[in-house]
Amino acid sequence: YSSKRLTTPYTLYDLTLENNAVEKVNISASLKRAVEQQEFELWYQPIIHLNDNSLYGVEALIRWPRADGSYTSPSVFIHIAEQTTLINQITDWVLQQVSKDIVYFESLGLALCIHINLSAKDLQDPKLIDKTSSLLNGNLTSQKIMFEITESAMMTNVEQAKMAMAQITATGGTFSIDDFGTGFSSLELLRDLPVKQIKIDRSFISNIHHKDADLAIVKSVIFLSQHLNCAVVAEGVEQIETVDLLKSLGCDLAQGYYYSRPIQITNFDSFIKKSVA
Ligand code: C2E
Ligand code: MG
Ligand code: MG
Ligand code: MG
C-alpha cells in the first residue's frame, strides 16, 4: 500500500479533489435547505480581560448540527456559503438570533461586548445597515455589538467597506479585524478604516513560546495596536503559560480553549458561576 502511495501520489491527490468537489455540491444543496429551515445554532465563546480575568464579552459562532448529533464545521460551510448569496441569509439569521439572545445576556446583569462575524459579501449588501441598525436599536441596554471582519474581506472593495463601516459606526456598532496577520495586513486599512480592535490570529499565538518570529510579530502587533488606540485580542489561547506571557506583553484580551470552548447559551450560566467561583 505504501509503495503504491509513493509511486502514484497524483492519483490520490486527484481523488481527494474529486471527493472535495462532490462534498461541496452535497453541502451546497443541504445548506440551502438548512438556511430555509433555520437549522443552525448560535454558540458563544467568552473573551477575557487579561488584567483581571473578568469577562469582556463573547464571540458568536455559528453551528450547523447533523442528524447524528455531530456538527459540520463553519470553516467548511461558511466558505461555501460565501460563494453565493446564502451567506447574506446566514448573516440575517445570526443577527436575528443575537437580538433574541441579548435578552438573556441583559438578564445576567453584565455589560458584555457581543462579537458577530461578517463576510466580504455582507459589506457589499445594501441592506446590511438596516439589518444591523435594527439590532443596534433593539434590546440593547448594557450590551455592545462589535463586528469582526478579516483583512481580506475589507480589501475586497475598500471603498464599499469604508462606507458600510462608517454607516454602522454612526449607529453605534464597532469593528474588529479578525485573524490579523493572515491576510494582507495593510497598514492603510488600520489607518483609514474605523477599527477599534485587532484580533491576532491563532497561528501566531500557538507557537509563541517556541518560535522567536511569532513572539516578535505578536509583540509588534500589540505595540502597533496600543499606538493606534486599538484594543488587542489574542486568539487561540490554550495554555496558562501563554496567558502569563501575553499579560507580560501588555495584551488586553484573550480568547481560547484555556478559558472556554464555544458554548451553548444555555450553558453560559454555569460558565459564569464556575469562573467567578
Ligand atoms: P473565527 O472568527 O476566527 O473564530 C475563531 C475560531 O477559532 C472558532 O472556530 C473557534 O471555535 C476557534 N477557537 C477558539 N479558541 C480556540 C483555541 O484555543 N484553539 C483552537 N484550535 N481553536 C479555537 P469555529 O467556531 O469553527 O469557526 C471557524 C470560522 O468560521 C470562524 O473563525 C469564522 O471565520 C467562521 N464563522 C463562524 N461563525 C460564523 C458566523 O456566524 N458568520 C460568519 N460569517 N463566519 C463565521
Ligand atoms: Mg471571528
Ligand atoms: Mg478569528
Ligand atoms: Mg478564522
Q: Over 70: is that where the pLDDT of 277 sits?
A: no
CB 57 within 8 A of CB 146: yes
CB 75 near ligand 1, within 6 Å: yes
Q: Which of 18-22, 24-28, 97-101, 193-197 has the lowest mean pLDDT?
A: 18-22
For the chain, the average pLDDT equals 91
CB 31 near ligand 1, within 6 Å: no
What helix, strand, coil percent values describe the chain, rounded to 5? 50, 20, 30
Provide the pLDDT for residue 1. Answer: 42
Give 8-48 pLDDT, tens digit per residue.
445 455 556 566 777 777 888 899 999 999 999 999 999 99
Residue with the bigger pLDDT between 185 and 118: it is 118
Catalogue the E-assigned strands of 2-143. 41-49, 55-65, 71-72, 113-117
Q: Which residue has the cell 489574542?
A: 234
Kind plus residue range of the DSSP H or E element containing 254? strand 253-254
Q: Whose CA is nearest to atom 37 of ligand 1?
A: 61
Q: Over 50: is that where the pLDDT of 98 sits?
A: yes
Q: What is the largest CA-CA distance in the chain?
A: 65
Give 74-96 pLDDT, tens digit per residue.
999 999 999 999 999 999 999 99
CB atoms within 10 A of CB 121: 20
CB 88 near ligand 1, within 6 Å: no
Provide the pLDDT for residue 19. Answer: 67
Which one of 35, 78, 206 would you pick to mutate in the ligand 1 pocket, going by the greatest count of ligand atoms within 8 A of its CB? 78
Give 140-159 pLDDT, tens digit per residue.
789 999 999 999 999 999 99
